Amino acid sequence: MTDHGSVGIVETHYFTFAQPPGKLELECGETLGPITLAYETYGTLNADRSNAVLLLHALSGNAHAAGYHSSSDSKPGWWDALIGPGRAFDTNKYFIICSNVLGGCSGSTGPSSINPETGQPYALSFPIITIGDMVRAQRRLIDHLGIDKLLCVAGGSMGGMQGLEWVTRYPERVGSAMLIATTPRQGAQAIAFDAVGRHAIQADPNFRVGEYYDKEPPRTGLSIARMLAHITYLSDQSMRMKFGRTLRTTNAYRYDFTSEFSVETYLDYQGEQFVNRFDANSYLYITKAIDYFDITAASNSIDEAMTEVKSKTMILSYSSDWLYPPYQSEQMVYALMRKEGDVTYCNVQSDYGHDAFLLEVGVMSKLVSGFLEHAMHPDKVRTPYQPERMDSEADPGPPSVHTRSIYESHRVDYDMIVDLVDEESRVLDIGCGDGELLHKLMSQKRVDGMGLELSQGNVISCVRRGIPVVQADVDKGLTALPDNSYDYVILSMTLQVIRKPQLVLTEMLRVGRRCIVSIPNFGYWKVRAKVLAQGKAPVTRTLPYEWHMNPNRNYISINDFLEFCRTHNTAIENALYLTPRGATSTTKLWPNLLAEEAVFVLSSNEPPLLGETVEEA
């Protein structure tokens, strides 16, 4: 056991509560007690008990999230790569807790535990449990540890379901949450896979209606259930890359029914390993709890279910996850946005499928560490803005060939926008990039800011700055957001790259009371001169790319934009015509000719348009 950054040797602890007659009342109507929860902790709880992070495991997980139980252990805890000194869940900063769920088989009370009333294992006399029951048991553990409010709850898959229960059932007990590769309700497809797995276990002759603890367990049934479930954790891409159609031990078909393909023997191995560490009855109970999960069950909609959420929330999905596809995460994201919640969302690009939350260590480390840092220090983003080098994760876009590219130097339009935005207003920045403008607005104007951004690298950069950001394609519209939900909607130097500019501008005017748009001016005299003199696509400070690397789709002049506003009943409340030095008197005379860029403040009202009085050069 040599693992730099590991928490090292760890010990499992046990907490017992709900002694009769004070049994825990379950959602099924029965009671249970006494209850024991196995748990592990890593790091040190600080003096004011404000640094506690509760990790929530998935179906087949346990309390052993990190480190080793002995020096001879060859395999660390299930999320070890993210937990330890200097890692994402930094044990130098945070006190990490992980418990085995109620109904589990790794030290917590479950169907394999001894029923004190009979002296025999509960087996199927164990009461049906829910995700909510698991969380209520965890709350008793957190009370036992003397923690009034958790800094964060974090978990993937079933762990994300538990996280959702925490933030909706005990909103005052949770400061922040990471809901990863999860869903607000178990869907029909996922229920179907679980049901087939349970049937496989129950059809095994060794199942004996759950009474197998002193006999041979239903190994075949549990193995098949695990193999079936494991397929849902992978993706077509990952299976194609890892296995293809390769044969495991021969170069030719054997023409029999043994496992020949590499993917077959891999699944055989997964099943064999699983039956050595997991209880078949626990599998039945936990998958049933997952299938019952529906955060909207006690409400009329996901919006109503999310009404009580007070925590800063980060939701992560994975592009190739077909068990809980990204659209299910987006339902939660937009529900939180509609209630003006502090939400961040990233759809991580990965070929690993559902298991990506365990395997995409690099991306996860950056997102988790950045999110936790600002959950612990929420005012850090509001400290005076200091110009900084571009974040290593930020997406700089195509390489510019102009030595003074606007995207690699001081942004004059940002200065103007900061001056235009009112103090403490609600701001949505579309195409927010690495978050520089929002960072300025949050630190200088103390706005309640949120970004929309398509690039994963820029999303990560925003998270590390402490800026709420939602990964989204604005060309699909803003239909998930209600009218007038923001004081300002900003689109800075982005209109020229989007596919559906009219849709985006219309949606901005619906969602924002005011909109601020900055554009590069294709009518600028240097642009005209380069086209005339060279007969080639122009390269300037605001259009700094070679034609074959150019992301721009729309070549907009100031006159084009003024005409658009005239013909689409859009009021221009203010217009600033800029050079690299800012607004000048000469640019006001002939803006379409002399201004290199422009900033407009728009609304959907219909006063006289400034554009009607502008001299068009």
Residue 501 carries which side chain, given as an amino acid letter?
A: P
**Which of 585 and 306 is assigned the larger pLDDT?**
306
Dihedral sign for Cα 328, 435, 371, 136, please: negative
Which residue intervals of the chain bear CATH 1.10.1740.110?
187-292
Percentages of the chain per state (helix, strand, coil), in multiples of 5:
35, 20, 45
Query: Half-sphere exposure of 181 toward its Cβ, with a 13 Å CA cutoff?
Result: 31
**Mean pLDDT over each residue of the chain, to the nearest integer:** 93
N-terminal to C-terminal alpha carbon distance within the chain: 74
Phi, psi of 113 (to 5 degrees): -75, 160
Q: Output the pLDDT for position 421.
A: 98
Whole-angstrom distance, CA of residue 605 vs CA of residue 537: 37
Taking 80 as the threshold, does the pLDDT of residue 370 lie above it? yes
Taking 70 as the threshold, does the pLDDT of residue 258 lie above it? yes
**Region 434-462 average pLDDT:** 96
- Contact present, 463 and 488 (Cβ < 8 Å): no
Q: How far is CA 373 from the centre of its chain?
A: 16
Q: Output the pLDDT for position 383.
A: 82
Nearest to 77 by CA among 171, 168, 12, 149: 12
Residue 449 carries which side chain, given as an amino acid letter?
A: G
The CATH number corresponding to 187-292 among 3.90.1300.10, 1.10.1740.110, 1.10.274.10, 1.20.1560.10 equals 1.10.1740.110
Whole-angstrom distance, CA of residue 324 vs CA of residue 321: 6
Nearest to 568 by CA among 600, 604, 599, 523: 604
Whole-angstrom distance, CA of residue 445 vs CA of residue 240: 51
DSSP state for residue 185 in the 8-state scheme? B
Element at 97 (helix H, strand E): strand 95-99
Taking 90 as the threshold, does the pLDDT of residue 3 lie above it? no
Q: Output the pLDDT for position 552.
A: 81
Which residue intervals of the chain bear CATH 3.40.50.150?
380-613
Would you tell me the crossing angle of helices 436-444 and 456-465 to the nearest 10 degrees?
A: 20
Q: What are 74-90's pLDDT values in tens digits? A: 899 999 999 999 999 99
Whole-angstrom distance, CA of residue 305 vs CA of residue 318: 24
**Which of 392 and 379 is assigned the larger pLDDT?**
379
pTM of the model: 0.94
Phi, psi of 152 (to 5 degrees): -160, 145
Q: Output the pLDDT for position 214.
A: 95
Where residue 613 falls among pLDDT bands split at 50, 70, 90?
A: very low
Q: What are 147-158's pLDDT values in tens digits? A: 999 999 999 999
Element at 345 (helix H, strand E): strand 343-348
- Contact present, 352 and 313 (Cβ < 8 Å): no
- Contact present, 326 and 318 (Cβ < 8 Å): yes
Q: What are 294-339's pLDDT values in tens digits? A: 999 989 899 999 998 999 999 999 999 999 999 999 999 999 999 9
**Region 98-122 average pLDDT:** 98
CATH of domain 380-613: 3.40.50.150
Residue at token pair 């294709």? 522
- Contact present, 50 and 94 (Cβ < 8 Å): no
Residue at token pair 């197998």? 212
- Contact present, 527 and 490 (Cβ < 8 Å): no
Q: Output the pLDDT for position 486.
A: 97
Q: Output the pLDDT for position 404.
A: 66
Q: How many CB atoms lie within 10 A of CB 613?
A: 7
Q: Output the pLDDT for position 616.
A: 40
Q: How far is CA 474 from the centre of its chain?
A: 18
Strand partners, 492: 518
Q: What are 463-501's pLDDT values in tens digits? A: 999 999 999 999 988 999 999 999 999 999 999 999 999
- Which residues have a catalytic role annotated? 157, 321, 354
Residue at token pair 């538990």? 162
DSSP sequence for 460-526: HHHHHHT--EEE--GGG-STTSPTT-EEEEEEES-TTT-S-HHHHHHHHHHHEEEEEEEEE-TT-HH
DSSP state for residue 261 in the 8-state scheme? B
DSSP sequence for 355-391: GHHHH-HHHHHHHHHHHHHHHHSTTGGGSPP---PPP
Would you tell me the crossing angle of helices 456-465 and 361-376 to the nearest 10 degrees?
A: 30
Which burial class, exposed, middle or buried, applies to 35 when counting CB atoms under 10 A from its CB (0-12, 13-18, 19+)?
buried
Whole-angstrom distance, CA of residue 584 vs CA of residue 586: 5
Whole-angstrom distance, CA of residue 420 vs CA of residue 425: 11
Q: What are 535-554's pLDDT values in tens digits? A: 888 888 777 778 787 788 88
Q: What are 400-412's pLDDT values in tens digits? A: 666 667 777 788 9
Q: Output the pLDDT for position 539.
A: 81
C-alpha Rg value of the chain to the nearest Å? 28
Nearest to 31 by CA among 154, 117, 139: 117
Whole-angstrom distance, CA of residue 540 vs CA of residue 556: 14
Helix (H, G, I), strand (E, B) or coil at 83: strand
